[in-house]
Amino acid sequence: MMPQWRIGPLLLPVHGAFVGLGVLAATAVFFAEARRRDALTEQSLVAVTGALVGGAVGMRLSGWARHLDLRENPTLMQAWQFGSRSILGGLLGAYLGVLLAKRIGGFRGKTGDLFAPAVALGMAIGRIGCHLTEAPGRPTGLPWGIHAPAAIPHCPGCVTGQPMHPSFVYEIAFQLAAFAALLWLRRRITQPGELFVLYLAGYAVFRFAVEFVRANDTVWLGLTRPQWFLLPTLIVVGLRLRYGYRHGYYDAVLARQAAPA
């Protein structure tokens, strides 16, 4: 059973509470950034609605496609009720939700730069709930290894008392650093959509690396399911960064002089 807080007669799930706080913080940052950019329009409200709905659906259904043999996977209803709550599934769902909402609303403008700082801060807060309620990481002999309560489900290291990597703390630190970096970059990266590309690339690289110390099971060639999901993503964002670099989108940050026309 997942840890809960008792507030009077109410039982509040710890993980859900921090996810909710993360969503609220991300929404607040989104609206603040939209106002700063003078982009708080009906279209941007449609986009954020699509992100919230798509993210919720993607997170809840992300546990469906776990096996190549589709007969071994749960039904969509089972995945909705009992499946894992994958952050990667939530991000993918949010992205698709924004695309669908913008297509329905006939909006062609780029909104990714409004979402990038919001997502980073929301993820940092939401991961606090993961740190308090989920298996932290693989065993380690490093001095900052942590001991987690034996009651945490699916955590053999918690039962045996082994020190483990605080993988969620690593991610919280990354997301806070990304949030600060995005706030610094937003006045320097002027090409629409590039701030979101940089965040996506940074998180993809970080998440692939941190999977080596997380508690997720390896499925093939020593890689976990999230890493196999991320491999094509890394290729795509790598090509996209190369495109942006060649077109001078990052010159103001790299102190590179633009090529003469």
**Tell me: the pLDDT tens digits for 100-141?**
877 777 777 677 788 889 989 998 998 998 888 888 889 898
Q: What residue segments make up the domains of the chain, in order of their start?
A: 10-152+159-253
**Tell me: the pLDDT tens digits for 18-75?**
888 988 998 899 889 888 888 777 776 777 777 777 777 766 665 555 555 545 555 5
Q: What is the pLDDT of residue 46?
A: 73
Of 94 and 61, which is predicted with more confidence? Answer: 94
- Give the bridge partners for 164, in sequence order: 139, 146
Q: What is the pLDDT of residue 85?
A: 58
- Give the bridge partners for 223, in sequence order: 220
Q: Is 204 helix (H, G, I), strand (E, B) or coil?
A: helix
Whole-model pTM: value is 0.81
